[in-house]
Amino acid sequence: MKFCPSHWDRLKQAIKSRGLFDLVAGSGEEAAERVAGELKGAPTTISNFDPLMGAHNRIVHNTMEYLSKVGINPLTLFSHAPEHPELECPICYLNWLSVEHDRTCTNPNCPRPRGLSFDDWIDKAADGAARFAASLQEGGVQ
C-alpha cells in the first residue's frame, strides 16, 4: 500500500516533529528486514521499532476497518488504477469516498457525517507511534 507523495511527506514530517526519525529504518531493505522480523514473531524493541512504518501500517489497518464498516471491500486498497491515483493512497481514497458520498447520497437520514476529511489520521498515527516508542523506552526494551 503506497501513499501519495503529499501524504507520505506529511507522515514523515509528523514522525520527525515528534523526535522519532532517528528510529526510522535507513533504507527500504532495512525496513523490510524489520517487518520480516515482526512477522516471524520477534519482539518489538526500541532498536527494531520503525515509527514511520508503524504509523503507515496503522493507517492502512484503520482504512481497511473503515471500509469494511461502510460496506466496501477493503481489498480495493490493493488495486492498481492508474486512471484513479486517489485509489492507491489510503488517505486520498477515504477523502475521495467522503466527497463521493456527499455528492451522491440522497438518504435524508443518512448516519454518515458529511464533509469528512481523513488527513488528521496522519497526526493520530504519529502520536500513536510516539506513545509506543515511549512505552518501549520506559520499559527498558532495547
Whether the Cβ atoms of residue 113 and residue 131 lie closer than 8 Å to each other = no
Distance CA 142, CA 140 (A): 6
pTM of the shown model: 0.87
Most confident stretch, 103-107, 111-115, 137-141: 103-107
What b/e readout covers 53-73, taking b as 16+ CB neighbours within 10 angstroms? bbbbbbbbebbbebbeeeeee
- The larger pLDDT score, comparing residue 138 to residue 82, is at 138
Average pLDDT, the chain: 90
48-89 per-position pLDDT tens digit = 999 999 999 999 999 999 999 988 888 877 776 667 766 789
Question: What is the pLDDT averaged over residues 19-28?
Answer: 94
Q: How confident is the model at residue 113 (pLDDT cuts 50, 70, 90)?
A: confident
Q: How confident is the model at residue 140 (pLDDT cuts 50, 70, 90)?
A: low
How is the chain classified by DSSP, letter by letter?
----HHHHHHHHHHHHHTT-GGGS-SSHHHHHHHHHHHHTTPPP-TTT--HHHHHHHHHHHHHHHHHHHTT--GGGGG---TT-GGGTSHHHHHHHHHHHHHHH---TT--SPSS---TTHHHHHHHHHHHHHHHHHHTT--
